[in-house]
Amino acid sequence: MRHSHLAPDQAGRAVWITLIVACGTCLSPLFACVTPFAALSALAGLKLGRRDAFIVIGVVWLANQAIGYGFLGYPRTWDSVAWGLAIGACAGLAVLASRALCASRPAPLAISLPFMAAFTAFEFGLYVAGYVLPGSYGAFSAAVVGQIFLVNTVTLCALAAFYELAMMSRMLVWNVGSDRPEVSL
């Protein structure tokens, strides 16, 4: 089996796109409307160009809505659709917030500050939407927001670790730029 010879940045981009879309799609049935959009938006904003980040988060949001309405039985009411649109808009805000803090920083802050900006933008956007749309005030209690933060943090760390493993295995197995023969899998 021959592997394509993508440039390292193209390969990394492809891996990020695949990880973000696959993760968002796979977590949607598990978490429904609590899918970790802040983490996914932060990584998309950090690791992809602006256009790609919005497209990828849009695809994740569409997949989330299709799974919700197609398989999880989301109610087909105006407020359910409005909340879905609010989640999509807030995911877009999270991308913008993470991109606003993309800069060269020491390792612990390189991801943590953009992630915190994405999480804050996402949750604040939903909180503001709650003034217009019907919902439960308990949805923004400290316990609920803490649980959502935990889900997003674990997702962010897991995807970052998985990406690093994918890039290491790519370098070890695919021998990109090497004069050695390709390894067949």
Range of the domain at 119: 8-169
- Kindly report the pTM of this predicted structure: 0.82
Residue 66 binned pLDDT confidence (cut-offs 50, 70, 90): very high
pLDDT of residue 185: 34
Residue 12 binned pLDDT confidence (cut-offs 50, 70, 90): confident
Residue 44, CA atoms < 13 Å, CB-side half-sphere: 34
Backbone angles phi, psi at 77, to 5 degrees: -125, 160
Asked if pLDDT for residue 126 goes beyond 70, the answer is yes
Residue 5 binned pLDDT confidence (cut-offs 50, 70, 90): very low
pLDDT of residue 173: 52
Mean pLDDT of 114-135: 93
Mean pLDDT of 138-143: 85
User: Does a structural domain hold residue 88?
Assistant: yes
Start-end of H helices in 48-141: 50-70, 78-100, 107-132
Mean pLDDT of 32-42: 89
73: left (phi over 0), alpha (psi -120 to 50) or beta: left
CA distances from 74 to 68, 71, 77, 127, 133 (A): 5, 8, 9, 20, 16
pLDDT of residue 54: 96
What token pair was written down for 126? 């939903």
pLDDT of residue 88: 96
User: Does a structural domain hold residue 177?
Assistant: no
CATH of the domain at 97: 1.10.1760
Mean pLDDT of 38-48: 92
User: What is the rounded CA–CA span in Å between residue 25 and residue 108?
Assistant: 28
The one-character DSSP state at 102 is -
User: Does a structural domain hold residue 176?
Assistant: no
User: Does a structural domain hold residue 39?
Assistant: yes
User: Does a structural domain hold residue 91?
Assistant: yes
The residue with greater pLDDT, 1 or 104, is 104
- Average per-residue pLDDT in the chain? 83
132: Cα separation from own chain's centroid: 26
**Count of structural domains within the chain:** 1
What token pair was written down for 71? 């398989």
User: What is the rounded CA–CA span in Å between residue 139 and residue 154?
Assistant: 20
